[in-house]
Amino acid sequence: RKGLGKEWPRGRGRPRFNHMSKAFTKESDDDGMLDLPEREISSFPNLVTSQGLTLIDAEIDRYSDAHASALAVNDKEAAARAARELRYWTARRNSAQVQPQPTGSDEVTFGSAVNIVRDDGRRSSFRIVGEDEADPARGLLSWVSPLARELMGKSVGEEIEAGASDATIVAISI
């Protein structure tokens, strides 16, 4: 009891504190929202077609509605997920650089539709689009994909590497 600069009154012991720090309780400082990691945003410029910009706007509308609906029913998990998607799509909208429609079909550019024939005779058709609008199953290639990068600047008749084989560009359209 000595050495603290003051003696405690005899028989009383040290004072007791009824308040416990939150650090020692299971209570949370947050409002119950999930702490989700942010969606990764590409380091490449956000080039988009006019259709891609429309797609981004539709996603913003979709997740704005989803967020409002989740908040209305107090679904914190759904609200957190919708808020994360809304932040992603808003960032993509803010960085979007709408590219002009190709004006010619002499060489492959952003927005071009390209037909190739592979060495084994298989034909493929692609349109080169922004990262968020890419859908390879529908023939929409991201401009940063290896195949799209191989196609850019090339003309009809030129050969390219297409995966494990070579291919020839047979048509370019807008």
* pLDDT exceeds 90 at position 122: yes
Beta partners for 129?
Answer: 142
Residue 10: the pLDDT is 54
Alpha helices (H) in 73-132, listed in sequence order: 76-95
Model confidence over 6-16: pLDDT tens digits?
Answer: 454 555 554 44
Distance between CA 122 and CA 108 in Å, rounded?
20
* pLDDT exceeds 70 at position 127: yes
Bin 163: left if φ > 0, else alpha if -120 < ψ < 50, else beta: left
Model confidence over 27-76: pLDDT tens digits?
Answer: 444 555 577 899 999 999 999 999 999 999 999 999 999 999 999 999 99
Distance between CA 106 and CA 141 in Å, rounded?
19
Contact 97, 52 (CB under 8 A): no
